[in-house]
Structure 1
């Protein structure tokens, strides 16, 4: 049976094409949602872009028919901008204040009351990414749900980039003898992806083990090509860090994604690998490091000075790692070093859009704060002969409309895991300090 879905503003600001994802059902956009979208359309960020996109979509549908009367959608459903179900009387007892959220709830509630009077009532549901709106809807007896269409796997189901496999000790002996293992004869109960790492362990309980990597076409297991020698003074402290360096230093993998909690070494490993490839091997012309300008907590407002001075507070975590790698002693030394080298560029992602970037080692830090559209925009900037590394912690998101499964980093990990040009690893063990590891685990 067809249903009625009432959309909250945050759903459209998160995914402007959400109106086309409800199949044959009726989609309702309350008039107050249009007002909120209008207030966001001048923003110079992703939310503003989405607001403008929604406006254009609705304007295009307006040519099909009157939006207040309902217009058909390509998927068989219909869309209606609601003007006549705004009565706030029934919400007055529970939620006295007339806020925009409560107005949206009022539209859904009035629709539900109207449907109950029919002989064949339709289910009414409000769709919102705001947890409190969904809780309020539940209090009112309304069906409420999150917008899940663009979600990837659940956080504990996200692709980790490695797995442990218990085998007969003869299989491990065979690998050390022939330096490879064909995947098909192993008859694994699950699929292995290109450049996935495998830890073989003896099923008999001995200490015999091996660390291998799936090749580019996922046909066989091969040894890691790199030794554990230091890279710019950085050595892998655990198996996952060694896997990360294997991906970062491989010239055959132009897209690398790294996830992990704070302190697992994501930024330091990526910078060390980038410096090795640019300054030592001269494989790339430039090392470009960028991160999104998304504040944690309250924004600090406008900053004085030229572009470099404005960006410095946002980019300081990058400079901290560079100071460690270059072993600088005094404040300001790193700026002189970077100026002298000329091959290392630290930018905000604001200045990446619209560029074509060939022959560079590109590091995108804090990529969990990017939307799917932003990730697509950035990766599509990558030119011939470039390598791009996206890293971040999907559980540590500061963007108001993203979560652990809908952010751009998780999205690209899941979308590219079957591709031979990409590799992914999830770092789990914190190496910053014991206190940092406990904070990441307990807080």
Structure 2
């Protein structure tokens, strides 16, 4: 039973919070958690399926079963030392204000009724509805109910969302010459006026020369970055040059490429993977399926393959660009054909590879901004020995209704992994698809 005099807060959870992070009930310190009975009803509908959202629902039900066991649950259950209690709250009648405001009896409104009930029943404690749904939070606030987004896994360093390439002006031309002569120089020799992060890329500009450089924190050296192509794809700007450099470096096992449409994120990652194909057993290129208007794939005509193809087509388009950089009779072209035929280069929906142990693979996850932080963690923890993972995405184009620039998995991973020896992040700014595409991205 909840105490009416406790100073701790009461958090009422919406279904989408659990589908975002099934461990969420352990993230509220010593505060009490209320699970509306409606949430359990909704979770039941999500348990079946192969999408990441179905996995979250199943895992939460398992966690809940472990907590409750064979005991009655109507009095609440402790979540452990230093944690609050978890309680399932059965349905509550709509207040007169709710009846006047909302004519429909839908799950969102039933959750609101429980939040309203908790607010009035425990006036000495602060009751807060936690939801990823902005509209539901607005409805709650209009009724005088406190409401918040789930903030546990949001980005803490906002600079990571808009990382621009650092350029050091008026640098010593002699030191630039030294970097050209030796390819790498101890960082203290260069007398940089800033403390670079692990694998940070920057441009050193003197009066008569310039050089692209990357900081190797493991050896405390600054490396000269050369402009090198990968399987017929030539970098067109400094950002793309840096991208190929970190993609081709075997010591960097986790890479994040962010940037707007047309900057070449996926193309560069795929070109690097094919260039390094002899070093890996398999190249996997995947993306999450986020159906438009929140409609399930079942709404689309055709069998499973026909339903999925439209979502995978952009990945095949990138592969086509690389293939057409060569003559169809060339060894390079034939090599790509062989890789596909032998299933050593596989393009697939992300849900189809969950649960697999990914050893000695080059794994590219496209559109990663549509993944939750927990989904990103689940994917990375599948990495076996010799596996390299590359996450690409545009933080400005999030299709999931419950994610934003601060709460999506790609931003979260980049924020948490920065300054780690095994990780590199490049934010591509300049569009290279076409002048029209670049203009549209900037102006529209």
Instruction: Give matches, 1:414-433, under 5 Å.
Output: 414-433=415-434
| 3-state DSSP of counterpart to 1:93 | helix
**Which shows bigger deviation, 254-263 or 371-380?**
371-380
- C-alpha distance 78-244 of structure 1, shift in aligned 2 (>3 A): same
- C-alpha distance 46-323 of structure 1, shift in aligned 2 (>3 A): closer
CA contact (8 A) 1:256 1:424 kept: yes
Partner residue, 1:322: 319
CA contact (8 A) 1:32 1:100 kept: yes
| 3-state DSSP of counterpart to 1:195 | coil
Q: Write the distance in 1 (CA, Å) between the matches of 2:49 and 2:213.
A: 48
CA contact (8 A) 1:161 1:197 kept: no
Q: Write the distance in 2 (CA, Å) between the matches of 1:336 and 1:59.
A: 53
Partner residue, 1:193: 197
Partner residue, 2:3: none
| 3-state DSSP of counterpart to 2:23 | helix
Gaps of 5+ in 1: none
Partner residue, 1:169: 171
- For 1:145, which of 145, 148, 152 is the aligned residue? 148
Q: Write the distance in 2 (CA, Å) between the matches of 1:184 and 1:99.
A: 66
- C-alpha distance 394-184 of structure 1, shift in aligned 2 (>3 A): farther
Partner residue, 1:288: 284
CA contact (8 A) 2:28 2:83 kept: no
Give the superposed CA RMSD.
3.1
- C-alpha distance 324-339 of structure 1, shift in aligned 2 (>3 A): closer
Q: How many aligned residue pairs are there? A: 425
Q: Write the distance in 2 (CA, Å) between the matches of 1:328 and 1:174.
A: 37
Residues 167-190 of structure 1: per-residue CA shift (max 9 Å, x gap): x533x532432552525984756x
**Structure 1 residue 305: Cα displacement:** 5.4
CA contact (8 A) 2:164 2:427 kept: yes
**Structure 1 residue 41: Cα displacement:** 1.8
Gaps of 5+ in 2: 1-6
**Which shows bigger deviation, 432-441 or 62-71?**
62-71
Partner residue, 1:273: 272
User: Under a length normalisation based on structure 1, what TM-score does the superposition of the two structures give?
Assistant: 0.85
CA contact (8 A) 2:157 2:415 kept: no
- For 1:312, which of 301, 309, 314 is the aligned residue? 309
User: Under a length normalisation based on structure 2, what TM-score does the superposition of the two structures give?
Assistant: 0.85
Residues 26-65 of structure 1: per-residue CA shift (max 9 Å, x gap): 2112222222122222233222222222222222332496
Q: Write the distance in 2 (CA, Å) between the matches of 1:155 and 1:395.
A: 14
Q: Write the distance in 1 (CA, Å) between the matches of 2:143 and 2:12.
A: 15
Matched, 1:78 2:85: yes
CA contact (8 A) 2:36 2:91 kept: no
Matched, 1:50 2:46: no
CA contact (8 A) 1:41 1:49 kept: yes
Partner residue, 1:91: 98
Partner residue, 2:45: 39
